Structure 1
Amino acid sequence: MSPSSRDSSPDLTEQAIEWFVLLHSEEAGADQHGQFAAWLARSPAHGEAYAAVEKLYGDMRQVAQAAQMHRAESISKPVQTARATRHPLGAATPEFSGKTAPRKTLWNRYGSRLLQTGLAAAAVWLFAILLILPEQFHLSDAWLSDHYTRTGEQREIRLADGSQVLLNTNSAVTVDYGPRLRQVRLLHGQARFEVAADAARPFEVISDDLKARALGTVFEVYRKETGEISVTVQEHAVSVTAGDGAAAVVEQGQRILYRPGHGLEAPEAVNLKLAAGWQQRRIMISDRPLGELLAEVDRYRLGRVFITDPELAKLPVTGVFSLDDPDAILVSVSKALALRSTQLGPWWIALHR
C-alpha cells in the first residue's frame, strides 16, 4: 500500500518518511512516482513535509561526518568509574536526539561558520543532541545525579550500607542516607534494588510523587518518559504510596502501576522471568506487538526505528533477544516477519513490507 492510498493521516511527517523509503527502494515504478506527484499536489504542507525529510537525511550525513572528526572525548565528561557494561556504541560515540525538520536550516546557515571559528565541537554536540539521542536521554545526568548510565549501558552500584543497585540504560539516581532513613531518588529510567537489612533505617525509593518502601529485599522501579511508574517485586514485598495518599502493598511476583492523573492501580501478577529479562541483558517478550518490542530496542541504541505502516506495529512477536547487539534484534525480527529495512542516514531505520 502506498502512502497516498490512505485517505488521511495524523502526521504528514510519517507519510513523507514512507514516501522517502518507497522512492529509494526497488519497488518504486512509474505508478508510484505518479501517486507521489499526486500526494505532493494535495497541499503546500505535503511538499514541505517531504522536503524536511530529505533535508534531515542530508544533514544527518553531515553531522555523522563532522562527528567522526570531533571525537566525544572533547565534548563529554569522563565516565564514572563504577563497573559498567556498555553497548558497542557506548560513550565514545556522540549521542543524539531524534527531532525533525526545523533544526536543519540552522546547520545550513551557521554550520560552516562555526567550523571555521573553532566552535566545531560545540556545534557537533548541539546537533547531536537535537537529532540522534534516545528520547529518554537526559543531558543533565552528570551534574544532577549521583549515579547514571548512558545509552545501552548498565551499571551495578554498591551503596554504603551494602545495598546494591542495578541501573538500566539511560537511568539516574541520587542517594541520601541519614541516621534514620535510607532514601534513593530515581530521577528517570529503571533500576533494581537489593536492599541490605537495617531495621533502624527503612529503605525508600522515590520517583516523582511515588514512594516505595522496602519490606523485603529485591524490587524494581521503572519511570517511563510518559511519567508512568511501575514497581515490580522480585522478593518479599514493597509498600507503595502515591502523592494523593493512595497506598498498597505489592507482594512478590506482583507489579503495580502509577499513571499521572489516574492514580495508583491495583497490584497485578507479573511473569518475573520476562519482567527481569533486562537484568540479564535480554529482552524477553511473549506474544506482544512488534511496536512494543521496537520501543524497547530503541532504549538501547542510538537513533530511531520507524514502522512505515501502523498495521505492522501490531504484528505479534515472541522471543528472547540479546541486548549486546540491538541492531541484530532488528535483523532477526525483520527476517521472522518478512519485513524489509531501509537505512535512512547513519542512525535511522525504517521497517516496511
Structure 2
Amino acid sequence: MTEEAMDWFIRLQEMPDDGRTADVFKGWLAIDPRHGEAFERIEGLMAMPALREASRRDAARLAATRPPRAGQGWMKHAASIAAVFILVLGYVQYPALLLRWQADHLTQAGKQKIVTLPDGSEMLLNTASAVALDFADGKRHVRLLAGEAFFDVRPDPAHPFAVTAQFSETTVKGTAFAVRSEDNEDVILLERGRVAVSRLTAPMDEVALEPGQAVAADAASISKPGAFDPQSALAWREGRIVFQEESFARALGELDRYYDGTVLIASRRLETLNVSGSYRIDDPATAILTVAAAVGASETRLPGGLIILY
C-alpha cells in the first residue's frame, strides 16, 4: 500500500494539471481509507526537513558530476527530485529488507514453496509469505512473519509444535492446519487433528479447534470456532483460488496478493458487484482480467504492472 501511495505521489507531481489522473486518484482514495492514510504518510515524509536537507546535499553532489550548460537549470530540480525519491524508496523498502533479514524462508508474490522442517514436518508457504524457525534444543517453533502457511506436522507428543503470528499462537502435537496473518488479524484453519489457539497477549484466552473449524484472533479478542469449506479456503495449495458470491473488491484484493504489480479499482460501481468461480493463481494477471471481464469492467494497463479497472 505504501508503494501504491508513492506511485501516486510521483504521478501527481509529474502531472499536476491532468484531470483524468486526478479523477483516477480520487477513485483510488475511495477504495480504502487506508489509501488516504498511506498517501498522507508519504506527503509527511516528503515534507520532513531532514529529508529535504539530505536531498539538497545529494542533488548538489549529482549536479556536480557534469558541468552546467545553458538551458539546463531544470537538471538541478530533477536531481533534487531523484535524490528525494531514492531516500524515500529506501524508507518504503525497509520493511521488506527487515523481513528478509529475519526470515529463514520466504516467497515472492505469486510464488509458493514447500519446506521440510528439521523435525520432518512439512510446510507449504503461500504467496508473499515469510517464516522464522526455532528448532534448537528440542523446540519446534515457527514464527509466521507475513502471509500464509500450511503445516502438516509430524507427531511428537514430547515436543509440541507451535506457530506464532501477529496476535496468536497455535499449539499442536500432530495435525494439519493453515495460519494466515493479515493486517488486522490472524486466521487459523484446521484440516485434521486438534489444535489449541491462544492470544499472545492473553495466553489464558484459548480456543480448541476440531477438524473443519477456523478461528480468528486480533489484538483485542479471539473469535468462537466456526466452520469453513476446505475446498475453497485451502484451494491455494492446489494452485487455485475460489470465490463464492464474493465482493469484487475483496476478490481483487485476494488475487492481488499473487500479482507482482498493482491493481486499482477506479469505479465505485464495481465494488458493489459479486463474483464466483475458480481461478488459477499461477497466472494472476489473467485471473484478474478474467474476474474483471465477468463484471463488465474495462481495463487500462500501464508500465510497471499497474492495472486500472473502471
State the TM-score, normalizing by the size of structure 1. Answer: 0.63
After superposition, what is the alpha-carbon deviation per residue over 1:212-258, rounded to whole angstroms, capped at 9, x for unaligned? 011432000100123x0010001112111112221111111111001
Map residues 143-182 of structure 1 onto 2, 5 A cutoff. 143-182=101-140
In the TM superposition, what is the alpha-carbon distance from 1:302 to its structure 2 partner?
A: 2.4
CA RMSD of aligned residues (A): 3.7
Residue from 285, 289, 306 that aligns with 1:331: 289
Q: What displacement does 1:280 show? A: 1.3
* Residues in 2 aligned to 1:250 and 1:186: alpha-carbon distance in whole angstroms: 19
Residues in 2 aligned to 1:275 and 1:237: alpha-carbon distance in whole angstroms: 18
- The structure in which a higher percent of residues are helix is 2
Q: Percent identity?
A: 30
Aligned to 1:286: 244
Aligned to 1:33: none
Shift of 1:123: 9.2
**Quick one: higher RCO (CA 8 Å, sep 6+), 1 or 2?**
1
1:216 alignment counterpart: 174
Contact 2:248 2:271 in 1 (8 A): yes
Deviation at 1:308, TM superposition (A): 1.6
Matched-pair contact (CA < 8 Å) for 2:108–2:129 = yes
Residue 273 of structure 1: which of 227, 231, 235 is its match?
Answer: 231
Pick aligned residue for 1:240 from 186, 194, 197: 197
Distance 1:176 1:344 in 2: 43
With structure 2 as the length reference, what TM-score do the two structures score? 0.72
Distance in 2, matches of 1:266 and 1:284, equals 24
User: Does residue 316 in structure 1 map to residue 274 in structure 2?
Assistant: yes
State the one-letter code of the partner of 1:234. Answer: E
Q: Residues 216 and 236 of structure 1 are in contact (CA less than 8 Å); yes or no, is this contact kept in structure 2?
A: yes
Question: Taking structure 1 as reference, are residues 112 and 222 closer, same or farther at Cα in structure 2, changes over 3 Å only?
Answer: farther
Tell me which amino acid in the other structure corresponds to 1:350. I
Gaps of 5+ in 2: 26-37, 66-82
Are 2:208 and 1:249 aligned? Answer: yes
Deviation at 1:139, TM superposition (A): 2.5
SS at match of 1:311: helix
Q: CA deviation at 1:346?
A: 2.7
Counterpart in the other structure of 2:305: 347
How do 1:10-29 residues align onto structure 2 when only pairs under 5 Å count?
none
After superposition, the C-alpha distances for 1:130-175 in whole angstroms (9 at most, x for unaligned) are 78x8xxx732222111111122211111011100111111111111
CA distance in 1, matches of 2:87, 2:136: 39
**CA distance in 1: counterparts of 2:236 and 2:287, whole angstroms:** 14
- Distance, in Å, in 1 between the alignment partners of 2:63 and 2:255 is 34
Task: Verify the 8 A CA contact 1:161 1:196 in the aligned structure 2.
Answer: yes
